[in-house]
Amino acid sequence: MPDGMLQIGGKIGVRDKVVREQMIKQWSNGNKVYDMILISPKNTQLGRFTQFVPRSVPLGAGIIAGFLRNEGYGIALLDEETVDMNEDTLRPFLERCEKPRIVGISCMTSNIARGYRIAKVIRSIDPETKIVFGGIHATTLPEEVLDHECDYVVVGEGEYAFKDLVRQIKREKIEPQNLRGVAYREASGKTIYTSSPWRDWVDINELPMFPYDMLDVTKYDFGFILTSRGCPFDCIYCSQRAISKRVFRYMKTEKVIEELDYLVNGLKIPNITFFDDYFTPNRKRVLELCEAMREKGFHKTCSFGVQTRADSVDQELLGEMRAAGFNSIMFGTETASEEVMTNIYKEQTVADNATAIKEATKAGFNVETTYIYGLPGETFDARVEALRFSRKMGVSRARFNNITPYPGTTMYRIAKEEGGLVIENDWDNFSSAAAVTAGLKKKYSMPYTPPGMTERELTGTVFLANLLFYANFSKAKALLNPWQKGSGKWFEFPWKDLWNPLRVLDLSILATTVILRAIYYPLVEKGCRKFFFKGLRI
Ligand code: B12
Ligand code: SF4
């Protein structure tokens, strides 16, 4: 079996104990049989940067795999970030999958192109296999996905919807009236959206723990935990509502502690990121959780990173979080212009960001902030101001992204209405990090360039803002520091691999590209030149 490929889920929690014992016996003989295969395609957008970006476990596919395993199904969970996926590697898995075969593919927009290609390979191996897509891209554009090699799309949170669909596929009898949140095409070509009045959102306290045992944790860079779902805000560039909806739901403290105990004491993970969309809307629950974490002493061996909204923290809360072991906090600051802040419906102010950053720094956090260039109403001065703000506030890390109108967002509608939406090669150009990870030669166009700006100016100013932020000894040190981890750590310097000539070659190419781009933009684009020299003086 190819190294790192086989991630087998056992039938844990099977209602029928005899069946379970038989299955375990079968597996120990090496005859592993699955009921379905779940695939997380790789993200190909980061190019040469991929190897230097921390690798996270495949969340969506993993959550679904853990849930279905708990329902008694045998699952093969395959993550393309850790293994090549082609006809030769997929065929043995399909052959061991019981008929009717089911393959579930989990995609964001960033990896949908790979998802389509993998679906094609699966169809070519076995045209009968039922291919089901889920995740944020399929949720927001089910019709597009159904135009590809896809039999069903699961829209939104997939646990119960997929379980019901799997049961029906396995029984070879589809009853749309008993399915919720599934889209498919009838023979006539008409798309059917199923619905029936039973679950509006998933109660996360009912779900099993993330199935870390189905993955080789040594192949991933950081631990994570998801302790809540949902966010009530409407930021125009964010599509999280399409999946986890506006209803904020959180895991009971005991359940979080149980999972943390497994990660910290069981797997000995030294750094864990809380991936909640919005960690702190309920102050009481965070205080209770921090107290429980402290009592368990997790902070003695592990540190925690978190992302949240700046308007929902205060000095006392931050102090309690620090005491519980949180050492890095990321705020989506987005802009330093109050006008832009209003335009994006963030419903918080630049002043809120400034206060939270100051308080978090005072509490001893490594503070990380993210900005978006290209938002509606943004001026040249607003872009310079965002850079100035990030420098002035003394945050440890900052990341400047190019606006990306992901499907399902208001920004997507705006870009479409303006006629400015550019989709290339099955969304391969849709990356909020595109301006940073681009090479010297243009591969794709930006997904969107706001009116009054050239594409080169957008790409160049995003790139230069990142560069200028780190063009400072202490910031560069923080970026390269191998011990400083956290939710916003997007670049991991490969200190351990410096003996490897290929790694060194890659790093050298990357460094050369950065230098050449730093010269190129100010030379060829007036807006970039002005930005660069203004930025240097900040
Ligand atoms: C944590 C997180 C990350 C983590 C981990 C991602 C990972 N490995 O899965 C990190 C920091 C690495 C990350 C990176 C990126 N992220 Co991110 N991330 C999130 C965040 C905050 C939470 C994800 C999560 O856990 N959701 C909760 C679970 C329950 O939802 P889910 O994963 O979608 O899975 C459910 C359903 O979709 C469905 N489902 C999923 N897969 C499948 C498969 C089948 C077969 C079925 C039936 C159902 C199903 O069932 C699941 C359970 O209910 C979301 C926001 C959000 N709320 O989703 C953004 C989000 C997913 N990220 C986003 C983006 C843009 C990115 C990046 C492209 C950013 C960048 N430029 O670098 C990268 C791409 C990384 C990649 N691998 O390709 C966007 C995606 C927009 C889009 N249309 O693609 C989101 C929605 C945020 C936003 N701004 O709108 N991200
Ligand atoms: S960006 Fe953050 S605050 Fe805004 S809707 Fe998305 S998750 Fe909520």
Q: What is the pLDDT of residues 458-498, one digit of tens each?
A: 999 999 999 999 988 888 877 777 666 555 566 777 777 78
- Ligand 1 atom at shortest distance from the alpha carbon of 276: 21
Tell me the CA–centroid distance for residue 472 and ligand 1, in Å.
32
The beta strand positions in 41-146, using DSSP E, are 75-79, 97-106, 130-134
Q: What is the domain partition of the chain in residue ranges?
A: 32-193, 221-536
Identify the band that residue 16 occupies on the pLDDT scale cut at 50, 70 and 90. Answer: very low
pLDDT reading at 138 higher than 50: yes
Tell me the CA–centroid distance for residue 164 and ligand 2, in Å.
30
Looking at residue 14, its pLDDT comes to 35
Residue 412 CA to its chain's centroid (Å):
19
> Phi and psi dihedrals of 494, rounded to 5?
-80, 60
Say if CB 487 and CB 304 are below 8 A apart.
no
CATH entry 3.80.30.20 includes domain 221-536: yes
Looking at residue 20, its pLDDT comes to 45
Average pLDDT over residues 242-266: 94
- Ligand 1 atom at shortest distance from the alpha carbon of 165: 47
Reported as a single tens digit per residue, the pLDDT across 389-446 is 999 999 999 999 999 999 999 999 999 999 999 999 999 999 999 999 988 888 999 9
Fold for 32-193, please state it: Rossmann fold (3.40.50)
Q: Which residue has the higher pLDDT, 291 or 499?
A: 291
Looking at residue 490, its pLDDT comes to 66
Kindly calculate the radius of gyration of the chain based on its CA atoms and give it in whole angstroms.
Answer: 23
Looking at residue 482, its pLDDT comes to 66
Looking at residue 502, its pLDDT comes to 87
Residue 181, class by beta-carbon neighbours within 10 Å (0-12 exposed, 13-18 middle, 19+ buried)? buried
Q: Percent of the chain having pLDDT more than 70?
A: 92
Reported as a single tens digit per residue, the pLDDT across 299-314 is 999 999 999 999 999 9
| Mean pLDDT, rounded, of the chain | 90
Tell me the CA–centroid distance for residue 216 and ligand 2, in Å.
31
**What is the DSSP secondary structure assignment for residue 507, as one 8-state letter?**
H
Q: By C-alpha distance, which of 317, 341, 340, 338 is closest to 329?
A: 317
pLDDT reading at 521 higher than 70: yes
Average pLDDT over residues 150-162: 96
Looking at residue 131, its pLDDT comes to 98
- Ligand 1 atom at shortest distance from the alpha carbon of 46: 72
Looking at residue 201, its pLDDT comes to 84
**What is the DSSP secondary structure assignment for residue 53, as one 8-state letter?**
S
* CA dihedral of residues 68, 69, 73, 77 (deg, nearest 10): 90
Cβ of 370 closer than 6 Å to ligand 1, yes or no, is: no
Identify the band that residue 31 occupies on the pLDDT scale cut at 50, 70 and 90. Answer: low
Looking at residue 83, its pLDDT comes to 85
Looking at residue 487, its pLDDT comes to 54
Identify the band that residue 87 occupies on the pLDDT scale cut at 50, 70 and 90. Answer: very high
Ligand in closest contact with the CA of 49: 1
Q: Which residue has the higher pLDDT, 335 or 488?
A: 335
pLDDT reading at 273 higher than 80: yes
Reported as a single tens digit per residue, the pLDDT across 44-85 is 888 878 878 888 899 999 999 999 999 999 999 999 999 889
Say if CB 279 and CB 306 are below 8 A apart.
yes
